[in-house]
Structure 1
Amino acid sequence: MVVGILDFRGQYNHLILRRVIELGFQGSFLGPIEPISRVKQSFDCLIISGGPWNIPEDLPKTGNAIDYILEFPGPVLGICLGHQLMAHAYGGELGRGNPEFGGVRIYVDREDTILRGVSREFTAWESHNISVVKQPRGFDVVAHSDNVPVEAMVNEGISRFGVQFHPEVKHTEYGIVIMRNFLNLCH
């Protein structure tokens, strides 16, 4: 199984690839301007990474990311910026005013596919100014924090998953479990 990692030059992207490989999968970075036809042919699942931009004003800088989210036939995980792009792509609401940096306490509302096997509360690493304040139609909120109502969301029917925090970093408790849960969907 090959995992495509959309590289927005975020500070932790190399860690996403490292975790994918450590968990026994092949991983490869792809840029945001690859044609969707090539992406569909080359990968079994996608991870839309974090990055330095704010949505919606920086949407042009994200290239074909929205197409990847909407048209890719396999599972897609959005992390940080990727989570925000996923919410935007499917009609969710983003907002400012709830920035989080460093360790943040996450509260699991519902154990779902990607949160299976994690504690009802855990600490996760965050770095964002924009957050998802209302999930898109068809998505369930499965985790929140004191400041952000949508820390994790899922639409299992279309295999779309988003997390505001960074599961790829060691500072996130259960991060490796969350990554493994997602990657197991790639089979």
Structure 2
Amino acid sequence: MTRIVVLDLHGQFTHLERRALRDMGVDTEIIDAETPPTEVDADGVVLSGGPDMDRIGRAREYIASDVPVFGICLGMQVIADECGGRVGSGEYGGYADVDVEIVDDADPLVGSLAPETRVWASHADEVKEVPEGFDHTATSDVCGIEAMSNVESGLYGVQWHPEVAHTERGEEVFENFVAICESD
């Protein structure tokens, strides 16, 4: 059975990320952000959303692991920051429904959502520049970089929250990540 852990970066929806995976039959659990990657046996890691970079614990260490990593909101920002991208304040701010355009329909994480999807997202902070080696895979009127991927490194991120009911086809994003983990 596929095992994917959710690293708790103290987001209000972290339990929903675990539930989405569990409901797909994935062996999953939420683990504390201070847990060293060497103590975790998993086929993939989700870096949850969260309030700020000051509470990410050892999240950066998971980015160099040998399993796929999926960052959601703050989790994506951690990946971008660690890999040399740029994160900054968003112009829009809080949570809202957003129409997202998929700009890479071949992307294994979000490509199946093309040409567009409606999501629930927070834009208090956001990725302003993708790191070298990453593809910019989705955009919106609210945020230039709604998703990014580095398939070769197994690193993926979305600014939105696929785990909440307000996001259309959010379960499909998790299914795509599970498929990535199973094929890795």
1:104 to 98, 102, 111: 98
**Deviation string, structure 1 residues 116-150 (Cα, Å, up to 9, x no partner):** 32131111001231000110000000101112111
Tell me how far 1:100 sits from its aligned partner: 4.6
1:89 to 82, 85, 106: 82
- Aligned pairs for 1:70-85 (under 5 A) are 71-85=64-78
Instruction: Report SS of the residue matched to 1:185.
Output: helix
Instruction: Report SS of the residue matched to 1:183.
Output: helix
Contact preservation (8 Å) 2:5, 2:44: yes
Contact preservation (8 Å) 1:21, 1:27: yes
Structure 1 unaligned segments of length 5 or more: list them.
Answer: none
**Deviation string, structure 1 residues 48-69 (Cα, Å, up to 9, x no partner):** 000111x4xx2xx211110111
Tell me how far 1:29 sits from its aligned partner: 0.9
Contact preservation (8 Å) 2:104, 2:111: no
Equivalent residues, number: 179
**Deviation string, structure 1 residues 105-124 (Cα, Å, up to 9, x no partner):** 10110111011321311110
Letter matched to residue 8 of structure 1: L
Letter matched to residue 67 of structure 1: E
Matched, 1:34 2:35: yes
The CA RMSD over aligned residues, in Å, is: 1.2
TM-score (norm 2): 0.93
Matched, 1:114 2:114: no
- What is the CA–CA distance in structure 2 between the aligned matches of 1:81 and 1:47, rounded to whole Å? 11
- Aligned pairs for 1:103-142 (under 5 A) are 103-111=97-105, 112-142=107-137
TM-score (norm 1): 0.92
